[in-house]
Structure 1
Amino acid sequence: MPWKLTPLLLFLGWMTSVCSARARTDLLNVCMDAKHHKAEPGPEDKLHNQCTPWKKNACCSARVSQELHKDTSSLYNFTWDHCGKMEPACQRHFIQDNCLYECSPNLGPWIQECPNGTTCRTFETYFPTPAALCEGLWSHSYKLSNYSRGSGRCIQMWFDPALGNPNEEVARFYALALTAEARPQGIRPLLLCLALMLSLWLHD
């Protein structure tokens, strides 16, 4: 009689494999769970200066975007000139970097929690070369590549919002890549289910 369970076991195995291999849409359009981020992305019409590309869909508030542009910001009790006067072009780069970090809803595929009990070390200890920085900064989520700006494979710190946010496509590409990596595991429950049914059928 165990063979009568075959349709149910097949259905359960199929559902398990489908659920475990679904697209990682949970990585798209999300904000980090961090100190100054909003809980969910949404419109922010009054984002300041270099943070304006994210005004249609932002994880930062207008207040945060204004603080990012100050020489001494209350956000992290940090001053741009802590090592001497910073060049305007360099400061502009770091403000864009901070706007991306605080405002972008397209970083989901790379969000990693900091491990508990980690030891504070110098920057050079962790990242002795540019390649080490690129590949090690977010728990090896990035890979050094020859892709260029506009390739659809690189997050852009600065873009023309009138042309749309190119980072949406990049996040979608890498979320789908993470889904593809998970697919081989997704078929295991189905195979296990089929093996169980065969065993029940043979012992009937």
Structure 2
Amino acid sequence: MARLLRTGLPFLLVWVAVVWASHVRTNLLNVCMDAKHHKEKPGPEDKLHEQCSPWKDNACCSVNTSQEAHKDISYLYKFNWDHCGKMAPECKKHFIQDTCLYECSPNLGPWIHKVDQSWRQERILNVPLCKEDCQNWWKDCRTSYTCKSNWHKGWNWSSGYNQCPKEATCHPFEFFFPTPAALCSNVWSDSYIISKYSRGSGRCIQMWFDPAYGNPNEKVARFYAEAMSGTGLPRAWSFPLSLVLVLLCLLC
């Protein structure tokens, strides 16, 4: 009996580790960030506004949040898109879509990280946006102007909304963002990166999609949740695998 236990227990422990890790991996799917305007859990929102409507079947944003995402200097973050003159409408559409993705998507779990900020406890980091989405964002914003390459910090908020710092000068987007990769990575402190993959590949997050064909980002999130080896899964495996190693040593 003792020998049976000694030979069978390692397999049992490995099975426990796999079950544990699979559970944590599942927790990266269909989740909302712990942030300023996000719902606690995703769910249907039939009346999401315009560009946020693709997420109406399962959203982390409320109807009100989706409406505010389309306004200039909305109550969401008091952010002024027109800080260097009127932003081109085709450019602003991308920033609205970016806001909708951030606020509404339940498929960003593999890239959520803990932070200690007054307005949120979690953020996204290095979400792989499909290369066409980054390229079109950059192309449509080339004629608009800005005064900074990182829009998360360094603004003058004395008026209640963001204004360029006194020493900053407005230039075309291309001055601060010379490539699509620079725009996607720098504008929101590495929230996104440009992917080498194309839309429909199942390997990159789409900012834009037709809900009539379902949400393609569900498949993408599942792929990265199961395959990534950087942030979530190693931590998920650390406890059960450590337990396995300790008990195996005791049996030696």
TM-score (norm 1): 0.77
Structure 1 residues 108 and 77: CA distance shift in structure 2, 3 A: same
Shift of 1:196: 1.6
Structure 1 residues 95 and 166: CA distance shift in structure 2, 3 A: same
Q: Which has the higher helix share?
A: 1
Whether the 8 Å contact between 2:150 and 2:186 is mirrored in structure 1 is no
Pair 1:196 & 2:250 matched: yes
Q: Which has the higher strand share?
A: 2
The aligned runs of 1:15-164 (5 Å cut-off) are: 16-22=16-22, 24-114=25-115, 123=150, 131=181, 144-164=194-214
The separation in 2 between residues aligned to 1:63 and 1:135, in whole angstroms, is 28
The separation in 2 between residues aligned to 1:6 and 1:137, in whole angstroms, is 56
Structure 1 residues 179 and 97: CA distance shift in structure 2, 3 A: same
Structure 1 residues 140 and 177: CA distance shift in structure 2, 3 A: farther
Shift of 1:150: 1.1
The amino acid that maps onto 1:59 is C
Structure 1 residues 53 and 139: CA distance shift in structure 2, 3 A: same
Whether the 8 Å contact between 2:51 and 2:97 is mirrored in structure 1 is yes
3-state DSSP class of the match of 1:32?
A: coil
Q: Deviations over 1:85-110 (max 9, x none)?
A: 01000010100000000000000001
Shift of 1:177: 1.1
The separation in 1 between residues aligned to 2:41 and 2:78, in whole angstroms, is 25
Q: Which residue is 1:13 aligned to?
A: 13
For structure 2, which runs of at least 5 residues remain unmatched after alignment?
118-147, 154-175
The separation in 2 between residues aligned to 1:171 and 1:71, in whole angstroms, is 31
Q: How many residues align?
A: 194
Q: Which residue is 2:165 aligned to?
A: none
Higher alpha-carbon deviation: 65-74 or 50-59: 65-74
The separation in 1 between residues aligned to 2:81 and 2:187, in whole angstroms, is 21
Q: Deviations over 1:137-174 (max 9, x none)?
A: 89978665421111111100110001000000000000
TM-score (norm 2): 0.63
Shift of 1:9: 5.2
Higher alpha-carbon deviation: 72-81 or 2-11: 2-11
Q: Deviations over 1:45-92 (max 9, x none)?
A: 010000000000000000000001112211111222122101000010
The separation in 1 between residues aligned to 2:7 and 2:15, in whole angstroms, is 12
3-state DSSP class of the match of 1:171?
A: helix
The separation in 2 between residues aligned to 1:73 and 1:10, in whole angstroms, is 57
For structure 1, which runs of at least 5 residues remain unmatched after alignment?
199-204
Structure 1 residues 144 and 72: CA distance shift in structure 2, 3 A: closer
Structure 1 residues 11 and 53: CA distance shift in structure 2, 3 A: same
3-state DSSP class of the match of 1:78?
A: coil
Whether the 8 Å contact between 2:149 and 2:187 is mirrored in structure 1 is no
Structure 1 residues 43 and 83: CA distance shift in structure 2, 3 A: same
